[in-house]
């Protein structure tokens, strides 16, 4: 790929449908261990990712400058916001259950408790915002115990490669996040129709025709689908996120238990 000035920047791997299938296998294998960890431990690991990224802040800044041709001040703003975003979601890992779950009043001698559980393997099409956008779609998925297969920004893939190195050195278990570089148009249909993928985030599917096609493919095994939203633009991502990105890929389990037994 070329930088913003048309000069050679890096050779980027072009992911294939086989890479996508292998990534799903790795994500499924990692799901049991990751979802079984305590929420507190998942928060520690997300916080560690932020620490590793902080140590490579200058590298991320330089990559954003080279890829997008933006001023250094703006690049630093996006890098700092990305690091803060990991910390933000790290703080929610052991709190989301209290917000989403709870005890339900019933007209019978029972305890009725609702508790959120992760959906499973989530495919994600990252937005073109190469670092903040990528962080904003990965962190909420894994914070709640899911594993992810992510198609990075096709136009700006270099920060995604550096982020994958940070994830690999931040105590995140293998297979929890699997980042693919290449064409979303080529890879995404295979993820959307894959029977072992439980959800798909279409944030980066800005082509309405592609998004509609992926929704249709996802319907084959009743995947949860997050559609692109107006607030997914690069500048809008700087705002404090809502919890919907976490709750989108949570299932609520309700348990009934007799009182006095």
pLDDT tens-digit readout, 125-162: 999 888 999 999 999 999 999 999 999 999 999 999 99
Pick from 89, 110, 93, 113: which is nearest to 101 by CA? Answer: 113
| 3-state SS, residue 8 | strand
In our burial notation (b when 16+ CB lie closer than 10 A, e otherwise), range 112-146 reads eeeebebbbbbbbbbbbbbbbbbbbbbbbbbbbbb
What is the phi/psi pair of residue 146, to 5°? -80, 165
| 3-state SS, residue 257 | strand
What the block records as the tokens of 38 is 């305590």
β strands within the chain, DSSP E: 102-103, 110-118, 121-125, 147-151, 177-180, 199-201, 224-226, 250-258
Parallel, antiparallel, or unpaired: how do β-strands 110-118 and 250-258 relate? antiparallel
232 vs 196, which has greater pLDDT?
Answer: 196
Residue 89 predicted with pLDDT over 90: yes
Domain ranges of the chain: 17-258
pLDDT digits (tens, 9 = 90+) for 36-65: 999 999 999 999 999 999 999 999 999 999
Cα 204 to Cα 138: distance, rounded to the nearest angstrom: 12
Total residue count of the chain as it appears in this document: 261
Predicted pLDDT at 235:
58
135 vs 7, which has greater pLDDT?
Answer: 135
pLDDT band at 261 (very low <50, low <70, confident <90, very high): low
> What average pLDDT does the segment 18-35 reach?
98
Pick from 199, 202, 163: which is nearest to 180 by CA? Answer: 163
Cα 96 to Cα 247: distance, rounded to the nearest angstrom: 8
Architecture in CATH for domain 17-258:
3-Layer(aba) Sandwich (3.40)
Please report the sign of the dihedral spanned by the C-alpha atoms of residue 156, residue 91, residue 102, residue 142: positive
């Amino acid at each position: 790929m070329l930088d913003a000035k048309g000069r050679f920047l890096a050779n980027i791997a072009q992911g294939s449908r086989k890479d996508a299938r292998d990534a799903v296998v790795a994500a499924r294998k990692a799901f049991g261990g990751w979802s079984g960890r305590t929420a507190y431990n998942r928060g520690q690991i997300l916080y560690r990712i932020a620490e590793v990224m902080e140590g490579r802040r200058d590298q991320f800044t330089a990559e954003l400058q080279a890829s997008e041709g933006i001023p250094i001040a703006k690049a630093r703003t996006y890098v700092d916001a990305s690091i803060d975003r990991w910390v933000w979601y790290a703080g929610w890992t052991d709190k989301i259950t209290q917000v989403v779950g709870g005890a339900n009043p019933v007209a019978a001698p029972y305890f009725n408790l609702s508790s959120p559980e992760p959906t499973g393997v989530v495919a994600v099409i990252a937005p073109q915002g190469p670092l903040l956008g990528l962080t904003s779609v990965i962190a909420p998925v894994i914070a709640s115990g899911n594993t992810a297969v992510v198609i990075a920004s096709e136009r700006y893939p270099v920060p995604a490669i550096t982020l994958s190195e940070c994830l690999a050195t931040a105590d995140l278990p293998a297979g929890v996040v699997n980042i693919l570089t290449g064409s979303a148009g080529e890879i995404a249909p295979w993820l959307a129709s894959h029977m072992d993928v439980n959800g798909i985030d279409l944030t980066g599917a800005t082509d309405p025709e592609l998004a509609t096609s992926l929704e249709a493919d996802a319907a084959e095994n009743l995947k949860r689908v997050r559609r692109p939203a107006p607030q997914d633009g690069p500048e809008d991502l700087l705002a404090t996120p809502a919890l919907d990105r976490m709750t989108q890929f949570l299932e609520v389990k309700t348990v009934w238990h007799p009182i006095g037994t």
